[in-house]
Amino acid sequence: METKKSPARIFLVLVPHRDIRLVLRRYSETLFEKGFSGAYLFPWVAPLAEVPEPLTNEELKQLIGEINREREKINTQGADVVPFPAAGEGMRLFGPKLACLWRLVHEVNPFSPTVLGSCLLSENEDISAIPPPPQLSFRAAALATMSWQKIPAENNSIGYEWKIGKLHWLPKSLN
Whether 114 is covered by a domain: the verdict is: yes
Whether 115 is covered by a domain: the verdict is: yes
Whether 123 is covered by a domain: the verdict is: yes
State how many domains the chain has.
Answer: 1
**Rounded Cα–Cα distance for residues 6 and 150 (Å):** 5
Q: Round the CA-based radius of gyration of the chain to a whole number and report it.
A: 16
Region of poorest pLDDT, from 32-36, 106-110, 139-143: 106-110
Q: Tell me, what CATH number does 121's domain have? A: 3.90.1140
Contact at 8 Å (CB) between 133 and 153? no
Assign 42 a pLDDT band (cuts: 50, 70, 90): very high
Whether 4 is covered by a domain: the verdict is: no
pLDDT digits (tens, 9 = 90+) for 43-71: 999 999 899 999 999 999 988 877 755 56
Whether 3 is covered by a domain: the verdict is: no
Taking CB atoms within 8 Å and a gap of at least 24, the contacts of 124-132 are 124/90, 125/36, 125/38, 127/79, 127/81, 127/94, 129/34, 130/31, 130/34, 130/36, 130/79, 130/94, 131/30, 131/31, 131/34, 132/78, 132/79
Whether 174 is covered by a domain: the verdict is: no
**Rounded Cα–Cα distance for residues 26 and 150 (Å):** 24
- Report pLDDT for 1: 40
pLDDT digits (tens, 9 = 90+) for 83-133: 998 998 899 999 999 986 455 545 566 788 889 999 999 999 988 889 999
Mean of per-residue pLDDT scores for the chain:
86
- Report pLDDT for 73: 83
Domain extent for 84: 9-169
Contact at 8 Å (CB) between 128 and 81? no
